[in-house]
Amino acid sequence: MNQSKLSLAEKDVQHQLHPYTDARVHQEVGPLIIERGEGVYVFDDQGKRYVEAMSGLWSVALGFSNERLIKAAEQQLRKLPFYHLFSHKAHSPSIELAEKLIEIAPVPMSKVFFTNSGSEANDTVVKMIWYRNNAIGKPTKKKFISRLNAYHGITTVSASLTGLPANQRGFDVPLSGFYHVGCPHHYRYAKPGETEEQFADRLAAELESVILREGPETIAAFYGEPLMGAGGVIVPPRTYWEKIQAVCSKYDILVVADEVICGFGRTGKMFGSETFGIKPDVMVVSKQLSSSYQPIAAILINDKVFEGIADQSHTMGTLGHGFTGSGHPVATAVALENIRIIQEEHLVEHAAEMGELLQAGLAHFSEHPLVGEVRGCGLIAAVELVADRKTKAPMDVVGKLGRYLAGRAQEHGMITRAMGDSIAFCPPLISTKAEIQLVLDTFSRALDDTDRWFGLGYNQSLWHQWEGYTHKS
């Protein structure tokens, strides 16, 4: 076929392998091609506008086409488009960003290490802790505990921390030495009559039992998102983090807070650790760090962790880890400007205010016959759909309701995300009252469509029509 006559969609199908996509279905339905963005909206190649209710991937805090971020990138590109941080080299944007991150951290931190993504950062944290424990004479303290339904990335090591089957099936992960305890989702996993506090007690006891089973001298760290994102926007039950941290402290186990989704205002405070009372030894940030205008992530470590790493690097003659793009000058310049804007425009406080509107608006759907639970915190939320409210049962296959509703929302001009049957909301921090209302109104229309579809009963041909939804309206 003459390549010049192919449409962009046809070229995409012919040449690209997409992440988080069924490759065979994609060959049939093709892509939704996004051409440009402005504020909280994106536009496809046909000119149709969509409100981006997911901030892209939980990440575009300042919305699309922010002129200050564009200018920061352009200025840095003209001044110093690239330099590295290897072997005692540095540049001003990375130094200033590291200083800013230490300044705003919710607990005392000592040093910042930059990577290009959250997955790389979490992979690096595991290596750093192994390295540090070798240095301090604890060579057996190498195992990590995270949670079922957690999301910490998709490199081989970070996917081992992740607790989602889709990120592990077929990839030969998790690696040995990675363990997963219960998901802190009260609605799904609490026993009948069990309060949030009692559920938290049980989860803390489970963590302690795993530690004792494996041996406290073998457990290096407990890994957790303050609020779980890709696992379904799971808000921890009351007293959960207090009790988990008490167990970790008892057995000299480090606490790592994965703030990749929660950081920089998403939960109504600068960091999710502040919202949920976490005092981590290590923090990982990304996504809203630069509003995803540039790929960047950062690891913050306290002095307890740094000292062992520093000693080991001295013994070895170098810290033998780093990336070409670690602390990239353009990425760090954009991230620094991004944080300035968040602070100057009081967007954390604004997110808390808009979050109240979002949470209250979604709560109005709580009694809908297809809604099992509405949950969230600040400007992040989820609505879990069920086929039977009493039993909390899904349709015959988990995810059918969620995918159908997400498809209808897209047709109505809103991009959201179905995580199984949970519909996620994560609008940009700059969202106005009117834009939050637009998200709610569009969800209402999509829910009405789903209710009508579901009310017809499961129709095989109708389902296949939506399973192969072409993204075109």
CATH fold for domain 68-344: Aspartate Aminotransferase; domain 2 (3.40.640)
Instruction: Place domain 32-64+346-467 in its CATH homologous superfamily.
Output: Aspartate Aminotransferase, domain 1 (3.90.1150.10)
Residue 462's pLDDT is: 43
Using a pLDDT cut of 70, give the percent of the chain over it.
96
Confidence band, pLDDT 50/70/90 cuts, at residue 458 = very low
Residue 2's pLDDT is: 61
Intervals of CATH 3.90.1150.10 along the chain = 32-64+346-467
Q: What confidence tens digit (pLDDT) does each residue in 391-403 have?
A: 999 988 899 999 9
Residues in a beta bridge with 285 = 298
User: Cβ of 436: how many Cβ atoms within 10 Å?
Assistant: 24
* 103, pLDDT greater than 70: yes
Instruction: Report pTM.
Output: 0.94
- What is the end-to-end Cα distance of the chain in Å, rounded? 27
Average confidence (pLDDT) over 360-373: 97
Distances (CA, A) of 115 to 236, 285, 344: 28, 10, 26
Residue 468's pLDDT is: 43
**142, 218 Cβ separation under 8 angstroms:** yes
Q: Say if residue 369 is exposed, middle or buried (CB neighbours under 10 Å; 0-12, 13-18, 19+).
A: exposed
Distances (CA, A) of 351 to 159, 436, 452: 30, 11, 34
**351, 379 Cβ separation under 8 angstroms:** yes
User: Cβ of 20: how many Cβ atoms within 10 Å?
Assistant: 10
Average confidence (pLDDT) over 2-23: 91
* 460, pLDDT greater than 50: no
Q: Is 415 helix (H, G, I), strand (E, B) or coil?
A: strand
**263, 271 Cβ separation under 8 angstroms:** yes
Intervals of CATH 3.40.640.10 along the chain = 68-344
Average confidence (pLDDT) over 9-14: 96
Confidence band, pLDDT 50/70/90 cuts, at residue 95 = very high
